[in-house]
Amino acid sequence: MTIEELLKSLNDHQRAYVDLELWDKATNGDYMLASYHLVPNGKKNILQAACEVASESSTGTNFPVKTETPYARLLNALVYEVDPEAEMVKIAFPWRLFDRNGNIQNIFTYIAGNIFGMGDVKALKLIDVWFPPVMLEQYDGPSYTLDDMRKYLNVYDRPILGTIVKPKMGLSSAEYAEVCYDFWVGGWDFVKNDEPQADQDFCPYEKMVAHVKEAMDKAVKETGHKKIHSFNVSAADFDTMLERCEIIRNAGFEPGSYAFLIDGTTAGWMAVQTLRRHYPDVFIHFHRAGHGAYTRPENPIGYSVLVLSKFARLAGASGIHTGTAGVGKMAWTPGEDVTAAHEIRYFTDMWHTFEQSWTKIPPQDEDLIGINEIDKKNMEILIDDSWRGIKKCCPIVSGGLNPVLLKPFMDLMWNADFITTMGAGTHAHPDGTRAGATAMVQACEAFQKWIDIHEYAKDHKELARAIEFFEKK
């Protein structure tokens, strides 16, 4: 069917949710834009189904209602582009639809809410979103960033090297801290709780925190390097979550030596934003366990890694896992993971549906945008006066990485400005955690010196043993 025929096929109700003449008005600042891959269920054509989606994801339902008012109608989401071949549609959401208190959860109830259950669609995947400058004013964005972490660690020219303590669960608090100590003295920077770490009877929360503090003090003293631990503060309710934060803050850790990890998909956006708003001086670590139900490339219904990552930045997460681009054990590809990792770091990016500028200066103010562009090259603007832009959100790269895979991943990533955490990649090393951590450091050194790791391993035995073990797999 041609676009004209598709338009003619609409009923009055659907016609209220389409404006294929919107074009450049779509980026005039009045709308948040979204692009979806949409396959109708067969009874409706793509434009009819798209209008039903626009209705259900803004002001409407499946019939026009007598209670509609002229003002309510102004808030209708509008289908403004449709590409039947590519099965792609773009929808403009008047941003005044959204809770004006910078509430991400609210947006998801529209653009990733009921519509995922609609009978009118067989496939509905939210591919990308674009935020108008006014929304960037309203939402928190990151406060404590990777740049602050780098300053604390005095590490600038390589990824932050980290691990996740394994086994995932079952160690006592003392055993847990022992593994942290071994990693910190063998390698460098960063240890995180695993995503299910909470207050289990074999590893009581307060004891885990206290033992980690002891291990960190010992490791800092021995190595002369600062260390960081990312504590999982996810909990049954917000009070308990905040209590866990206070346990950590009152355990004697110096500012910068701890991060708060939140299981953002299972705990939800409210938890992420509560942490961001309560603790602007702490690195908020968004673990995304469970996101695969929405983001796996083969899932017909859901949203992309890019969308999740962009909202994490808007919500103010300091960092979010963005995957290993197919190099590690998870299912995604460079197209998804590297795009997401780049998008949340830069000031502008145009690798996907929309060119997103993360500046709060309205697009029409070109000369100021020009100044921002120049500053971006020196990175001052993102660091020193973020009033003009949303600060960077740090890609956290994990999931089946090991010293052998670091270079293949970095070749895809094109930069070293991220945190990497290797669990098995450290603790499965034939000579244990300390050697595993050292092997990771050596693999990173080899990359920095442009030396092949097999060459470098000739006089770095921990790396040699890691290659022997992990390459066999």
Enzyme catalytic residues: 166, 287
CA 472, CA 95: separation in Å to the nearest integer?
53
Question: Whole-number minimum distance, CB 137 to ligand CAP, in Å?
Answer: 30
- Among Mg ion, ligand CAP, none, the one that 316 touches (CB under a kind-dependent 5 to 8 A) is none
Binding to Mg ion in span 411-470, by CB under 5 A: none
CA 168, CA 157: separation in Å to the nearest integer?
30
**Residue in 245, 251, 310, 308 with CA at minimum distance from that of residue 280:** 245
Binding to Mg ion in span 168-227, by CB under 5 A: 194-195
Q: Fill in the DSSP letter of residue 289.
A: T
How big is the chain by its Cα radius of gyration, in Å?
24
CA 419, CA 17: separation in Å to the nearest integer?
43
Question: Whole-number minimum distance, CB 234 to Mg ion, in Å?
Answer: 12
**Residue 294 or 447 having the CB closest to Mg ion:** 294
Return the biggest CA–CA distance within the chain.
79
The strand pair at 121-130 and 88-94 is best described as unpaired
- Among ligand CAP, Mg ion, none, the one that 288 touches (CB under a kind-dependent 5 to 8 A) is ligand CAP
- Among Mg ion, ligand CAP, none, the one that 10 touches (CB under a kind-dependent 5 to 8 A) is none
**Residue in 371, 374, 310, 298 with CA at minimum distance from that of residue 345:** 310
Question: Whole-number minimum distance, CB 304 to Mg ion, in Å?
Answer: 21
**Residue 102 or 326 having the CB closest to ligand CAP:** 326
- Among ligand CAP, Mg ion, none, the one that 29 touches (CB under a kind-dependent 5 to 8 A) is none
SS3 state of residue 328? coil
**CA geometry: angle 311, 315, 319, nearest 5 deg:** 80
Question: Whole-number minimum distance, CB 6 to Mg ion, in Å?
Answer: 27
What single string gives the DSSP state of each residue in 81-127? Answer: EEETTTTEEEEEEEGGGS-TTT-HHHHHHHHTTGGGG-TTEEEEEEE
Binding site for ligand CAP (CB under 6 A): 164, 166, 168, 194-195, 288, 321, 323, 329-330, 398-401, 422-425
**Residue 128 or 195 having the CB closest to Mg ion:** 195
CA 261, CA 81: separation in Å to the nearest integer?
39
Tokens representing residue 381 in the block: 């603007």
**Residue 321 or 434 having the CB closest to Mg ion:** 321
- Among ligand CAP, Mg ion, none, the one that 73 touches (CB under a kind-dependent 5 to 8 A) is none
Question: Whole-number minimum distance, CB 230 to Mg ion, in Å?
Answer: 11
Q: Which single residue brings its beta carbon nearest to ligand CAP?
A: 423
Residue 116 lies near Mg ion (rule: CB under 5 A): no
CA 473, CA 455: separation in Å to the nearest integer?
20
# residues contacting Mg ion (CB under 5 A): 2
Question: Whole-number minimum distance, CB 330 to ligand CAP, in Å?
Answer: 4
**Residue 55 or 442 having the CB closest to Mg ion:** 55
**Residue 361 or 393 having the CB closest to ligand CAP:** 393
CA 366, CA 133: separation in Å to the nearest integer?
13
